[in-house]
Chain A
Amino acid sequence: MPAIEDSGVVVLGWWVSMFTTRVRIALAEKGISYEYIEEDIPNKSPLLLKHNPIYKKVPVLIHKGKPICESLIIVQYIHETWKEGYPLLPSDPFLKSQAAFWADYIDKHIYQVVKLTWDSKGEEMQKRVEEFLGYLKVLERELGEKPYFNGESFGFVDMALICYYSHIIGFGKIGNFSVEKDTPKLFAWATQCMKRESVSMTLADPNKIYELLIEIRKKNGLED
């Protein structure tokens, strides 16, 4: 077992985690092979707790025995370490700063889709759905007429958002909204992204995510 830590790339992840998906998409775009270790959340492994003692979360990328935590930081690390192959970030500093800004916006505003599905219902849920749709519409405006947030090609912000897609679909079923109807541009964008192997092979099955959300809601007494 100890040998795994010292060779190549290892990813500690969880199939439910959109942040794990994000890192796996980035590695796939670069064509980097790695060992994937599925964590049994909530029974976190000693390896995870050792390599991410502050946040104790997935994903963790371990490269030659050294851990890197936080998915956006990991993607930037991959971009800076494996300079050949698909560019994960723009080379222009201004465009790079915009990519960083929007990825940060996504994590600040879209991540709550997780909390929303786990602990609200009825009128409160509807209020939060409205708010959430508002954030999706901000992103739609930013996308504009471009095929990708990154412009003509799939990039950092696209990776940052598409990893949430299965959760957004699941939330749509629970919160009674449709990405296709309510944010058609985002729907078209997501459909485009899913044609990429890195995304289609990595994104969690939306049905499985939906089933898990319902299970959690039942446990929290939010569903009959």
Chain B
Amino acid sequence: MADEVKLHGVTGSPFVCRAVIALNLKGIKYEFVAEDLSNKSADLLKYNPVYKKVPVLVHNGNPISESLVIVEYIDEVWKGVPILPQDAYEKAQARFWAKVIDDKCLPAVFKAVSSHGEEQAVAEAHEALQFLENELKVKGIKFFGGDNINLVDIAATFVAFWIGAAEEALGIEVLSKHKFPKLTEWSDNYVNCQAVKESLPPRENLVAFFKKRFGKA
């Protein structure tokens, strides 16, 4: 019996993108159900009544919500390219870094962007991003997953692609090359991975979105 896989999402969301990358990495055939967030489908509300948000993965009628939960589910159900390490300790470390990204980096970067690069907000974003910079520097690794991307790289997708688009749209600088040489190098390598390249939204759409959402009139 063939698997039925659907992903409810919007192309501009970095959270939806995490799920798309995981699906593409595993070579899973799925249907992308584009949602209009100002007019959410009955299905979305049925599948994610708690948050009413995207992404939602629906696998043979079973809905899974929350991007990192979705990515781990995909890794567990479909073998092939591994997203999480096999070793329990390494797995715990990967989960930890994904949490640091969501707990510390994401809110700080969001604040730096939505405040138009306000000094204190950018300083806090730098403090959060420094954790990632140090991790790459200390370990001397190409990706957070080592030679190949893993859960942590996927969690950090917004760093590699969304920050740059926001910077261009708003004329601000958050991820400067001289302050974050390793993270900048990682970003360039990451967006060029096949599975990532085919999952990212068109950059000009993202830039336009940031201009519209946060741009000064």
Q: Residues of A at under 8 Å CB distance from B?
A: 54, 63, 66, 68-70, 73-74, 76-77, 80-81, 93-94, 96-98, 100-101, 104-105, 138
Contacts and interface: CB of A to CB of B under 8 A. Distances in A.
A77 B99 CA distance: 15
A100 B91 CA distance: 15
Contacts of B96: 68-70, 73
A54 B131 contact: yes
B106 interface: no
Nearest to A95: B62
A101 B69 contact: yes
Contacts of A70: 95-96, 99
B91 A80 contact: yes
The 4 closest A-B CB pairs, nearest first, are: A80-B88, A97-B73, A93-B76, A77-B92
B172 to A, nearest CB: 26
A133 to B, nearest CB: 16
B92 A73 contact: yes
B58 to A, nearest CB: 11
B105 to A, nearest CB: 11
Please report whether the interface of chain A is mostly helix, strand, loop or mixed according to DSSP: helix
Nearest to A100: B69
Given A63-B89, A70-B96, A93 B69 contact: no
A196 to B, nearest CB: 25
Please report whether the interface of chain B is mostly helix, strand, loop or mixed according to DSSP: helix
Given A74-B92, A100-B66, A104-B66, 19 more contacts: A54-B100, A54-B104, A63-B89, A68-B92, A68-B96, A70-B95, A70-B96, A77-B88, A77-B91, A93-B76, A93-B77, A94-B59, A94-B62, A97-B64, A100-B72, A101-B65, A101-B69, A104-B69, A138-B50
Contacts of B104: 54
Contacts of A97: 64, 69-70, 72-73
A105 B50 contact: yes
Interface of B: 50, 59, 62, 64-66, 69-70, 72-73, 76-77, 88-89, 91-93, 95-96, 99-100, 104, 131
A83 to B, nearest CB: 10
A100 B92 CA distance: 14
Contacts of A54: 100, 104, 131
A94 B73 contact: yes
Contacts of A77: 88-89, 91-92
Contacts of A73: 92, 95-96, 99
Most chain A CB within a 10 A radius of its CB, from B50, B59, B66, B96:
B96
B69 A76 contact: no
Contact of A76 (B64, B73, B92): B92
A138 B50 CA distance: 8
Most chain A CB within a 10 A radius of its CB, from B62, B66, B88:
B88
Contacts of B70: 97
A221 B69 CA distance: 41
